[in-house]
């Protein structure tokens, strides 16, 4: 049997057990009152007066929501839709914030391996890349043929330097670097790969193009650029080794980097991030060597990005170490 208010009659039986339970909890018991339809029912159901625990009592319970007075309804309401949505939203939000992540080791391998192989596609002048007829790039005149041979020599030298740079980076990733943070968001891999791989393809296309012209000052310009390139690469590698020695034996404590007996580390006297200084110098020398606009643009973007990183690192040093050398600059001695 059911009353007109659509509440089962067996709910009335609950009123017999509410008073002892409420008394044990120290809650003021309210006698059962009939519904508006006349059927018996416990107080607190429907729109009738609800039980309120006394202020400051030891047995306070959550206030029942509308339409619930039994213990089962109280428990269900406390973990009701709002609570469940809050939990689901928190879990989904946390997943979105975390996202997919990858280790720095794998990220660097992907970033540096791509340019190495992409450059070779253009260096060997695959037919699907240029597709130029040989008659447009050859000439019976000996001066033109000599110039063409010189251009091929410059392109080969540029390929050697470019490959050497990224092979060095891969060796440092495997044997030298000690990463302080374990992972990186996957979206950063996409951005970094687009940056490195895209620029590698763009500058390789122009340097290895059959109509490429050599530098204006010939061998003198190329020799100067090669010497500068090798010095900067040696300096960059030396700085990375010095920074890696600061975290020897798995130490995670930050330390101030100082110059060592290696002359390439003496740049620590003047800047906080000499590895970025040598990196920018490497690409400046490569720009001089090839005299190519895409390489110059890539060098400019490298300088801007590494300046931002160097300033952040410099500020971190100043914040963490009160005795940090005040005469050091972030990336360029005495200037920046």
Taking only the tens place, the pLDDT of each residue in 65-111 is 444 444 444 333 334 333 333 333 333 333 334 457 877 788 888 88
Q: What is the pTM of this model?
A: 0.67
State the average pLDDT over residues 5-10: 50
What does the H/E/C string look like for 94-121? Answer: HHHHHCCEEEHHHHHHHHHHHHHHHHHH
pLDDT score recorded for residue 32: 53
Buried b vs exposed e over 203-236: b needs ≥16 C-beta within 10 Å?
bbbebbbbebebbeeeeebbeebbebbeebbebb
Using a pLDDT cut of 90, give the percent of the chain over it. 45
CB atoms within 10 A of CB 196: 20
Is residue 195's pLDDT more than 80? yes
Cα distance from N-terminal residue to C-terminal residue, the chain: 87
Look at residues 1, 19, 18 and name the one whose alpha carbon lies nearest to residue 10: 1
Is residue 238's pLDDT more than 80? yes
Residue 224, Ramachandran bin (φ over 0: left; ψ between -120 and 50: alpha; else beta): alpha
Mean of pLDDT over the chain = 76
Name the pLDDT band for 239 (thresholds 50, 70, 90): very high
Is residue 11's pLDDT more than 80? no
Q: 6 near 42, Cβ under 8 Å?
A: no
State the average pLDDT over residues 170-184: 81
CA distance 176 to 169: 10
C-alpha angle 248/229/303, rounded to 5°? 75
CB atoms within 10 A of CB 38: 10
Residue 274, C-beta contacts closer than 8 angstroms, at least 6 positions apart: 235, 239, 265, 267, 268
């Amino acid at each position: 049997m059911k009353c007109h208010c659509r509440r089962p009659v067996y709910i009335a039986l609950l009123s017999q057990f509410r008073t002892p339970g409420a008394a044990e909890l120290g809650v003021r018991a309210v006698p059962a009152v009939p519904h508006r339809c006349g059927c018996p029912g416990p107080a607190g159901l429907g729109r009738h007066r609800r039980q309120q625990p006394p202020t400051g009592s030891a047995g306070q319970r959550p206030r029942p929501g509308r339409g619930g007075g039994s213990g089962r309804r109280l428990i269900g309401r406390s973990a009701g839709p709002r609570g469940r949505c809050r939990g689901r939203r928190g879990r989904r939000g946390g997943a979105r914030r975390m996202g997919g992540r990858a280790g720095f080791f794998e990220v660097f391998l992907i970033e540096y391996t791509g340019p190495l192989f992409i450059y070779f596609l253009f260096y060997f002048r695959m037919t699907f890349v240029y597709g130029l007829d040989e008659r447009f790039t050859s000439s019976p005149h000996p001066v033109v043929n000599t110039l063409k041979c010189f251009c091929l020599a410059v392109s080969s030298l540029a390929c050697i330097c470019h490959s050497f740079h990224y092979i060095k980076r891969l060796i440092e990733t495997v044997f030298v670097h000690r990463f302080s943070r374990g992972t990186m968001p996957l979206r950063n891999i996409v951005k970094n790969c687009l940056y490195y791989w895209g620029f590698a393809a763009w500058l390789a296309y122009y340097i290895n193009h059959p109509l490429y012209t050599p530098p204006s000052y010939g061998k003198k310009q190329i020799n100067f650029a090669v010497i500068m390139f090798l010095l900067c690469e040696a300096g960059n590698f030396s700085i990375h080794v010095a920074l890696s020695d600061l975290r020897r034996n798995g130490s995670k404590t930050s330390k101030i980097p100082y110059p060592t007996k290696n002359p390439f580390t003496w740049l620590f006297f003047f800047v906080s991030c000499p590895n970025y200084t040598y990196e920018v110098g490497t690409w400046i020398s490569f720009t001089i060597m090839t005299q190519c606009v895409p390489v110059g643009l890539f060098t400019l973007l490298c300088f801007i990005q590494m300046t931002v990183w160097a300033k952040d690192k410099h500020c971190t040093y100043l914040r963490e170490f009160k005795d940090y050398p005040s005469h050091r600059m972030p990336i360029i001695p005495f200037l920046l």
